[in-house]
Amino acid sequence: MLKNIPAIIPPELLKIMSEMGHGDELVLADGNFPAASHAKRLIRCDALGVVELLEAILQLYPLDTYAERPAAVMQVVEGDQVIPIIWEDYRRLIEEYEGITDAFDHEERFDFYERASRAYVIVATGERAQYANLILKKGVIFPDADPSQQQQNAESNSN
């Protein structure tokens, strides 16, 4: 047991997140996503939803402040009547933990699959909401800086 590590993060995921470097991507996949056939590394968290796992991950995992949008969701397929309200939870958590208000790229379905297949890891969840897949690009941890300072550093470096 360790202090201050969210208990819902399995040891294997903690290890993988520690191994990841700046720019590596982690996919949180919903229960319908073809995770096993697309993953280089697969971690199963079938009893968890994406929102609860995202909140635990964001306590430890910095998002890439150098990327214009450090997260990506799968676009709703044309003609599909789904409204992915789960994205609002993602927005809220990313803003709360990272201070980023416009974090998402919207990837076409097959582009999302291709990007996910290049990710460092795919975490398969039991999430039942449709279009709940989320890609997170890992950032850097700056010495003695809080997330708002990290955002300011990234903005000044991009100018």
Using alpha carbons, select from 93, 82, 9, 113 the residue that is nearest to residue 51: 93
Q: Single out the catalytic residue among 22, 40, 92, 118.
A: 22
Which phi and psi (to 5°) does residue 48 adopt? -110, 155
CB-side neighbour CA atoms (13 Å) of 8: 17
Structure tokens at 73: 């969701």
Tokens (6 digits) for 138 = 């890992």
Pairing label, strands 71-74, 104-107: parallel
- DSSP readout, 65-96? TTSS-SEEEEPPPTT-----THHHHHHHHHHH
Please confirm, yes or no, whether 22 is among the known catalytic residues: yes
Q: Please name the amino acid found at residue 71.
A: A
Report the catalytic residues.
Answer: 22
